[in-house]
Amino acid sequence: MKNPYLPYPVRIEETVIETEDRNIKSFKLAFLKEEDCKAFDYTPGQFAQLSVTGKGEIPIGIASSPTEGDHLLFTVNKMGVVTTALHNLSEGSIMGVRGPLGNSYPFDKMKGKDVTIIGGGYAFTTLRSTIVYMLDGKNRADFGKITLIYGARTPGMLLYKETLEEWSKRDDISYNVTVDRDAPGWTGRVGFVPAVTEQVAPSSENAIAVICGPPIMIKFTLPVMVKLGFTPEQTITSLENRMKCGIGICGRCNVGPEYVCKDGPVFSMAQLKEMPQEY
Amino acid sequence: MEYMRLNKKNLAAFIEELKQKCEVWGPVKEGDQVKFAPVSNVSDVDLEQFKNTTMSPKEIFFPQSEIMLSFKREGEGANIYRDEQSVPSKKAIFGIRPCDARAFRILDMIFKNDQFADNYWLTKRDAVTLVGLGCKEPCSTCFCTSVNSHPFDETGLDVMVTDLGEHYLLRVLTKKGRELLAGSHVLREPSEANIEAYKTVRKNAEDAMTVQFGTDKVNGKTVLELFNEDYWQRISEPCLNCSTCSYVCPTCHCFDIQDEVFREGGQRIRNWESCMSWIFTVHATGHNPRPGKKERVRQRFMHKFKYIPMKRDGEIGCVGCGRCVTMCPVNIDVREVVKQMNS
Amino acid sequence: MKSLLEYAGLEPGRLHFSWISSAEGEKFANFATSVVESVTALGPIKRFAKDEVSVGDRGVEL
Amino acid sequence: MNARTTKLREIAKKLLDKQKVDVVIGFKKGTIPLKNTPFFATNSEEADLLLWDGNCIGNLAAYLPKMAGKRAAIVAQGCVSRNVVGLIQEKQVDSNNIYIIGMPCTGMLDPRKIIAAVPGEITEAVEDQLYVTARGKGFEITLNRSDVLNRNCDRCTVRNPVLFDEIASEPKPELKDPVRYEKIRAIEALPPEGRAESIDELLSPCIRCYACRDACPLCYCPECFVDKSSPQWCGKSQDDRDVLSYHLIRAFHTAGRCTECGACEEVCPMGIKIRLISGKVEKDIREIFDGYEAWKDLKTPPPLTVFQRDDPQPFVKE
């Protein structure tokens, strides 16, 4: 019987310090075994449990897209015991990955529609995965207009600077990256995400919006979405809760009857309306 | 349906027969507790006095601490997790109460969902044949009939045993049960009178239990209606937030996963954990979605009586064994709580 | 604490306390030597030391 | 209804009606025999549910630190009143927000002793000053109250509250010099291996539910050492060394603070005599510090919280 708790061994191929405060680091991982790589069949929005031996596991959204090849990308904010241990691992180290876990963004519903991606801070990881996936040559035609609104406190706190640079040059994505306050050398937008969303004003007609970010950003962006005509069914977000098993058994991440790890982490605002606010 | 009869005088011989096939476990007294353990001598087991085990028998399949994986820290294969599952030995467990067996069936649904199967639970479950003991005299804290069960509930059992005074009547319920009993030299064909006696005992036990509360109205209310009720504050006031209710409960199944490091290697271990504890839900940021005892007490009852039924075709996450009623240090009585939920 | 640990089964002679000022080099050296001697004589510790998790009584082993 | 209950309700009603307090913390009748439930009365109707008898187990002072600015009256016998003193001394509660309803006590019943003395399930139990009668299917057995008291109550020397605003009855007579620590002395007399074995056996039923900690009025830390993850002081599994570490560290934290209320044992679902460990610390403190007993007045601090030049230090090597 396959053990769903057994992590796949992976090697850290490359690490990148993403932000100026050096607290957020990306890890490019390669599977040690070919068959594990094949078994790890994922869709953007899913997450995985990263293991550091002796420290434990931590659930992290997958930042790479399956269209990018066999490696996996995870971006980790240094917070607790496991993430700190992870930050201390060097390139070449062996660690564990268990997944893919959770549902994903509802690409079946997004097909044929305009997609607005709104992100803030370091919650941009699975959104990166989603955009890369949608912009991929094989998939681009499946979606209408793609609008990106992404904000960070300062230019130095934006993730994936090279990828952003690349997107900014494309003409098949409306690129709106913003920082909270103006900074030397910054030529892009300035302003908070809710305000920028209002300016960009993506159409809600035949559209889906995916919003991920700190609670305060979500709180102020949602009324803007309502104003733009997005219904709760059209507005999608991703939740986080303390998790252990990641497979809907250990019982701690539930929000009402739904397990964030298995039934989520992606929920529509319509679903969240029926659920207690225990997240 | 197949029936067999065992004269109580032959219980020892019967257990010896079973031992030829597999390990035999029964309710054994250990200090002032009763727990399921291998039966070395049939006199260790007092089925006449036996009410139920102190702790729920879920620990047979889901031990409080269980080693899941191991790893080395140096050398070849370092930092790669290895599976530490052992192949469990075959065993028959004798004297399981119907409520606890029903709880196993509920946990089967939890440990195996539509996508994942917890092999640690499943392999141990598969290796066991459950011989249940019907409840002739339910305790005053029992309430199985209020949660869709009854003292002779056969859900989850392979064989049901009924005490008829001089004899036991064995009712074979599954293929596993039939295989366990096959070839016995002490089992006899029961008489019509035996089967009638069984039916009377069963009916008397069921009649002796009044339905103390219903759950119909709970089903009719939405999650948020129940969640936002005022009574949770009062219900939770005396709660100490200890984990007694969860740990004695046959259906509570939450656990924690931890790595421990020793000199050359380490292990990944799972330990029971309870939604009563503060640490259960706290985020690394310090934010806690269930910051106080009101939220935590509400979670436990909502999980059993609303969330599980919603997700598992109406199956209630409580079997009415009454352990939490007798063991809660501050007498938070689940029966009173559900009455309020169902009002 | 010494009393409690020894009550719980730690051998006397494993845990030592002393007041030593930073100026009392000789006292420190003598004390350290006596601790080492006393602990060496007792051999490796068994109580409290952990080389693996033993799940024991509550973890029903199958 | 006993006289102390009548008086208690009268006091509670008066306090609530005159809005002197927001809540009266006491007990009301439980749903099963021999067990009452802590109850938080907020109006005079609810005050009529309050009661006092031999089934008021646990220590109500444990609820005080979390009352968040509410003015609370608390029903306090000797041990609980000492813990209230302790919480005031340790600045966990504001004495201006606390009203102590003193309750002279004659000890709480140990349900385990009563259950062990009868042949079946108890469906009803009644007590008076001297006897407890337990009834069930086919039996009625009367026991001497003094034979079925909790192990802490049968040797208690502080039955009457040490601090109160009002008292619910005349003081009860206090025991003089009861026999203490017999079992602890017996364990002390064993060789190290014997002591290890005794303690391991004592703790073997532990399920780490932490009821002992959660019921203890000394354990008000917002994050207990046993829950900490960085650093992790104590393993979380059922490994006997981790279970032992938890109990030893907790016992050590009670040094000089334990009032021997016995709540830890009363709430233990597995019936572990936890005070064979914490009692050892309590005994040592009493012996080292000249008969010290924790928190019998508002002025004397526990000896381990103050430094004296002549503090005894038998464990220090010269």
Tens-place pLDDT, residues B141-157: 999 999 999 999 999 99
D137 and D260 together in one domain: no
Quote the CA–CA distance of A272 and D231 in Å, as a whole number: 36
CA–CA min distance B59, chain A (Å): 15
Per-residue confidence (pLDDT) for residue B1, from 0 to 100: 61
CA–CA min distance D218, chain C (Å): 18
Query: Which amino acid is located at D304 in the chain?
Result: L
Per-residue confidence (pLDDT) for residue B247, from 0 to 100: 96
D28 and D161 together in one domain: yes
Per-residue confidence (pLDDT) for residue C55, from 0 to 100: 62
Interface of B with A in 75-94 (CB under 8 A): 78-81, 83, 85
Residue A171: pLDDT band (50, 70, 90) is very high
Q: What is the 8-class DSSP label of residue D174?
A: P
Residue D317 belongs to a domain: no
Residue B112 pLDDT exceeds 80: yes
State the helix-helix crossing angle for B334-341 and B293-302, rounded to 10 degrees. 80
| Count of structural domains, chain D | 3
D128 and D59 together in one domain: no
Report CB contact under 8 Å: D195, C8: yes
D75 and D218 together in one domain: no
- Which residue of B66, B122, B257 to mutate against C (max C Cβ within 10 Å)? B66
Which pairing describes strands D98-102 and D72-76: parallel, antiparallel, or unpaired? parallel
On chain A, the residues whose CB falls within 8 A of the CB of D230 are 80-81
Residue A1 pLDDT exceeds 80: no
Residue D134 belongs to a domain: yes
Beta strands in chain D (DSSP E): 23-32, 35-41, 50-51, 72-76, 98-102, 122-127, 131-136, 139-144, 166-167, 316-317
D53 and D9 together in one domain: yes
Residue D266 belongs to a domain: yes
On chain D, the residues whose CB falls within 8 A of the CB of B336 are 31
Please count the other Cβ atoms lying within 10 Å of the Cβ belonging to residue B198. Answer: 24
Q: Find the radius of gyration of the CA atoms of chain C.
A: 17
B263-302 pLDDT, tens digit per residue, is 788 999 999 999 999 999 999 888 999 999 999 999 999 9
D80 and D166 together in one domain: yes
D72 and D120 together in one domain: no
Task: Tell me which residue of D236, B110, B271 sits closest to A244, measured CA to CA.
Answer: B271
D206 and D291 together in one domain: yes
Compute CA A1 distance to the chain's CA centroid, rounded to the nearest angstrom: 31
Query: Which burial class, exposed, middle or buried, applies to B86 when counting CB atoms under 10 A from its CB (0-12, 13-18, 19+)?
Result: exposed
Interface of B with A in 280-319 (CB under 8 A): 280-285, 289-290, 295, 299, 302-303, 306-307, 310-311
CA–CA min distance C12, chain B (Å): 26
Q: DSSP characters for B126-139?
A: HTEEEEEE--SS--
State the helix-helix crossing angle for B119-126 and B98-111, rounded to 10 degrees. 140
For D280, nearest residue in chain C (alpha carbons): C4
Residue C58 pLDDT exceeds 60: no
What is the average pLDDT score of chain B? 93
Task: Answer whether D touches B (≥3 Cβ pairs < 8 Å).
Answer: yes
Quote the CA–CA distance of D123 and D82 in Å, as a whole number: 34
Per-residue confidence (pLDDT) for residue B251, from 0 to 100: 97
Please count the other Cβ atoms lying within 10 Å of the Cβ belonging to residue B45. Answer: 22
Quote the CA–CA distance of A231 and A227 in Å, as a whole number: 10
Q: Contact C51/C22 with Cβ under 8 angstroms?
A: no
Task: Provide the domain limits for residue D68.
Answer: 1-108+155-175
Span of B27-36, B52-61, D58-67, D95-104 with lowest mean pLDDT = B27-36
For chain A, what is the total number of helices (H) and then of strands (E)? 8, 15
* Tokens, residue A79: 């917070």
Q: Contact A48/A100 with Cβ under 8 angstroms?
A: yes
A130-165 pLDDT, tens digit per residue, is 999 999 999 999 999 999 999 999 999 999 999 999
**Sign, CA torsion B267/B270/B271/B276:** positive
Q: Find the radius of gyration of the CA atoms of chain D.
A: 20
D169 and D186 together in one domain: no
Which pairing describes strands B159-163 and B128-133: parallel, antiparallel, or unpaired? parallel
Does C39 touch chain D if contact means CB atoms closer than 8 Å?
A: no
**Host H or E run for residue D277:** helix D275-288
Beta strands in A32-173 (DSSP E): 47-52, 56-61, 72-77, 94-101, 114-120, 146-152
Q: Contact B251/B321 with Cβ under 8 angstroms?
A: no
D91 and D198 together in one domain: no
Query: Which amino acid is located at C52 in the chain?
Result: E
Task: Tell me which residue of C57, B159, A279 sits closest to D207, measured CA to CA.
Answer: C57
What phi and psi, each to the nearest 5 degrees, are found at residue D129?
-65, -30
Mean pLDDT of the region B19-27: 93
On chain D, the residues whose CB falls within 8 A of the CB of B234 are 40
Characterise C43 by phi-psi region: left (phi > 0), alpha (psi -120 to 50), beta (else): left
D171 and D305 together in one domain: no
Quote the CA–CA distance of D6 and B287 in Å, as a whole number: 45
Residue C49: pLDDT band (50, 70, 90) is confident
A63-92 pLDDT, tens digit per residue, is 999 999 999 999 999 998 999 999 999 999
Q: DSSP characters for B186-230?
A: S-BPPPHHHHHHHHHHHHHHHHHSPP----HHHHHS-HHHHHT-T
Point out the residues of chain D with pLDDT beneath 70: none
Quote the CA–CA distance of B53 and D278 in Å, as a whole number: 29
Which chains are adjacent to chain A, needing at least 3 Cβ pairs under 8 Å? B, D
D62 and D160 together in one domain: yes
On chain C, the residues whose CB falls within 8 A of the CB of D248 are 4-5, 8
Residue D318 belongs to a domain: no
**Host H or E run for residue A24:** strand A24-31
Structure-token match 């936002």, residue found: B228
Report CB contact under 8 Å: B66, C55: yes
Mean pLDDT of the region B148-177: 94
Instruction: Please give the model's pTM, rounded to 2 decimal places.
Output: 0.93
Q: Contact B128/B58 with Cβ under 8 angstroms?
A: no
- Give the one of B64, B67, B262 whose C-beta lies nearest to C58's C-beta: B64
Residue D60 belongs to a domain: yes
Residue D99 belongs to a domain: yes
- Which residue of B67, B73, B93, B272 to mutate against C (max C Cβ within 10 Å)? B67
